[in-house]
A and B are shown apart, each in its own frame.
Chain A
Amino acid sequence: GAGVSQSPRYKVAKRGQDVALRCDPISGHVSLFWYQQALGQGPEFLTYFQNEAQLDKSGLPSDRFFAERPEGSVSTLKIQRTQQEDSAVYLCASSLEAGNTIYFGEGSWLTVV
């Protein structure tokens, strides 16, 4: 597709439920990023992939958060046993290679009730 595609756009989860958020980056983009954005704040880095390799996961807030990109294209961010503080917008972004301009998707809005 022309841009970064994310699904679902909106997700309401009950506390304790597991969720999976999908990202389809721009075709040919090697680098893929996940960010978390709280209301009224700037995006905060979660994790980074170069092709299928997860090179940086320093921003993942807890071991309940897990990301994968098994074939170097589509990525999934999984959150286990969701908590209310996980409610946020999860943004996926991609770039042709590291250091180049990063393009964002529309985000997945997660609300944990």
Chain B
Amino acid sequence: EDQVTQSPEALRLQEGESSSLNCSYTVSGLRGLFWYRQDPGKGPEFLFTLYSAGEEKEKERLKATLTKKESFLHITAPKPEDSATYLCAVLPMDTGRRALTFGSGTRLQVQP
């Protein structure tokens, strides 16, 4: 059974204080690992897809990296508008299974 564990559950940063969020996963063959951002009362918003170990993707202050067991979402010099819940999800290689398995998310609060 696919499992995704995110840590920490909650993180409070000062504006400009860089940090990393962790996503550990177990899946029988990884087709893709996805990062989403979710604001309160909204649906998840797509950020990145990573397909193979060693891959990195960047968008503004965010950089996602992938190894064979985990992914990190690095936040450099965060701003208050980066406050949100960040969700990680995996899609297995099994072509009979199309659905993402999500972690519980990391709630990030960036204080000015």
Contact = CB atoms under 8 A, between A and B. Distances in A.
Given A55-B98, A99-B91, A105 B104 contact: no
Nearest to B105: A42
Nearest to A41: B104
Interface residues of B, number: 25
Interface in B87-112: 87, 89, 91, 95, 97-105
Interface in A78-112: 91, 93, 98-99, 101-107
A56 B102 contact: no
A45 B100 contact: yes
A76 B49 CA distance: 28
A40 interface: yes
A40 B105 CA distance: 8
A91 B46 contact: no
Interface string B31-58: 1101010000111111001000000000
A48 B102 contact: no
Interface in A38-90: 40-45, 48, 50, 55-56, 59
A64 B105 CA distance: 28
Interface of A: 4, 31, 33, 40-45, 48, 50, 55-56, 59, 91, 93, 98-99, 101-107
